[in-house]
Amino acid sequence: MQHLGCFVSVLLLLFSAALEIHAENPALPLVMANDNRTAAGRLENGALDLRLELRQGRWYPEDENGDHRDIYAFAEEGHAPQSSGPLIRVLQGTQIHATIHNTLALAAKIYGLHRHPGDPTDVLLLAPGETRELNFLAGEPGTYLYWATTSGNLQELRDQAETLLSGAFIVDAHGAKTDDRIFMIGIWNKGIPGTPGSDEILSINGKSWPYTERLSYKIGETVHWRVLNPTWSDHAMHLHGFYFKVDGVGDGEHYERYSEEQRQLAVTEHIDIGHVFEMTWAPERAGNWLFHCHMMLHMSSTAVLANSLAPKEGKPADYSSAHDHNKGMGGLVIGITVLPGAKTQPSPVAATARRKLQLVISDNPGKVPLYNLEVNDPLKPIATDKNTPASLLGPPIFLTRGEATDIEVKNQSSNPTVIHWHGIELESYYDGVAGWTGSGQQTSPAVAPGTSFIARMTPPRAGTFIYHTHWHDDVQLRNGLYGPLIVLEPGQKYDPEHDRTFVFSMGKYDPFGFMLLVNGYPQPDPVELHTATRYRLRLINITDGAADLRVRLTNKGVPVQWKVIAKDGADLPPAQSGLATADMGITVGSTYDVEYQADSPGIADLEIRQPSFPTPVTLPLQFVVAK
């Protein structure tokens, strides 16, 4: 029966491929990338007349000299089809009169074309060639989604041509500013991800890096973004160099706008399937920066772009060879340039000598993992034991808030690399994206074998951060080229009697293969802690793609109570800080600080789970009475 199942699977794949080839039609109209800046329809006397169509078109995720896919897309009547679909944007209280015509040879189910908040089961059925009319009020202010399926599948189970049938539906409050940007994440996918024959192309507003839109702002501007995810996967959206405030979240049908007291600072935000979030930030330092998904396969050209879409002629004028698809980024990446403002102040010059540290990267003779990492402090030399086996976790780096520090990245390995100081507010040139961060005059270099690069920073806040490779393949990240970066208050020392760090990662652990790890181990030894002692537990997710990682602290299988005090190195606002059940998601590229105190002896299990792994990894915390 197993062989029969394999045979049927092969037949289905061949049949699917045949249908895809048959669907190729060079006469199809081009699907245009939608920057979501122009609202569809005609507004008159407080009413919107909207005329939509379901069309087939030819989509180029890069440029028209590259590869393409024939897809189904929404279009405004008389205009080219778009990816994402035409932007619906109205004021609260607007009456919407919409007609939608299905030009496809397939029936379609359309969701989200109704008043919001809405019922997710409220669906419009549209037969081939059919036209329907709708009349409804826009509803409450917020960020919403509309989408369609031609297979009858759920949003996350759509396949191939139907996967990009999505659009943004924005309802603005009266008097609200509308100079924001809207980013629609897209994934064209074929088959079940990760299975033989499956394929993916990732995009933002219809384009993949390096063909995504380049954004430009001035220092001091207030920037407001809306991010929407109608794809099959969740994502971890990360902003380099700056914190943003999370203004609100929604599930596509309902939206919750946070009060000012609820808006936490973040550098990475998880966005679930079918969900949205809004964010506000203000650029404070000039240079080039990035906004991207932190899942390796979603920002790396080696696995993201179907059939190895390669840049051909017609590259953007600011395209960098450092980001060619054979060695750079791809997919869910947006480039940002921050220009000096009208009253830009020069960076202050440190009055005292800078602290010097060294991060040494070398090859591991044992090959598993590939690298050895050392941190050297000339003022506190530590004798290294050459017999200590290489670890799938780099040593911690401790900095002090407000102290100017130079970290020399010394590459003694046989491969080029670059280090990103995740969450640290520093100058662009030192941010660590080879060929991009910095400026047009001087961009960050790759650290070639046998060379060094000095990263300069003066951390403005104490908290929990990460240093990690920003080389855009999974080999370095899966071989331990990362570690915790802890910034302490002036005069404070890291005290393991009250402060513990737990790093969650993935890597090849000899001899078992690819494993989920805690502090570099798939089965970590118990950690002895003391009762009646308040501990700060620093939790770090630097896996290569576990956006949906969950962390629990349990006593006899029941989650305990802990206090969440910080996210991504920034203290949580009082409205979000407090006792909570110790069971929460920590997306990739995020850190959380929690406080916990055990009042009686016993074992509390720190447990991490990820759906790709059949069993969780558990680290026993053995609480004993202090002697």
Q: Give tens-digit pLDDT for 571-583.
A: 998 888 889 999 9
pLDDT at 73: 98
Q: Determine contact, residues 146/274, Cβ cutoff 8 Å.
A: no
pLDDT at 467: 98
Q: What is the mean pLDDT of the chain?
A: 90
Rounded Cα distance between 327 and 435, Å, is 11
Residue type, 481: L
**What is residue 168's three-state secondary structure?**
strand
- Kindly state the tokens that stand for 245: 């405030």
Q: Which residues of the chain have pLDDT under 70?
A: 1-24, 302-327, 343-351, 383-387
Residues in the chain: 627
Question: How much of the chain is in helix, strand and coil states, percent to nearest 5?
Answer: 10, 45, 45
pLDDT at 193: 80
Same fold: 13-311+319-339 with 513-624: yes
pLDDT at 98: 98
Burial of 534 (0-12, 13-18, 19+ CB in 10 A): exposed
Helix (H) or strand (E) holding 146: strand 142-149
Counting runs of H as helices and runs of E as strands, what totals does the chain give?
4, 45
Q: How far is C-alpha 533 from the chain's CA centre?
A: 35
Q: Spell 197-219 as b/e; 16+ CB within 10 A means b.
A: eeebbbbbbbbbbbbbbebebeb
**β-bridge pairing 42-44 and 47-59:** antiparallel
Q: For the chain, which residues make up each domain, given as ranges?
A: 13-311+319-339, 355-420+437-463+471-493, 513-624
Rounded Cα distance between 615 and 611, Å, is 9
pLDDT at 314: 44
Burial of 585 (0-12, 13-18, 19+ CB in 10 A): middle
Fold of 513-624: Immunoglobulin-like (2.60.40)
Domain 355-420+437-463+471-493 has CATH 3.60.10.10: no
pLDDT at 311: 43
Nearest alpha-carbon partner for 323 in 315, 413, 414: 315
CATH architecture of 13-311+319-339: Sandwich (2.60)
- Residue 460 preceded by cis peptide, ω within 30: no
- What values do phi and psi take at 303, rounded to 5? -125, -15
pLDDT at 310: 47
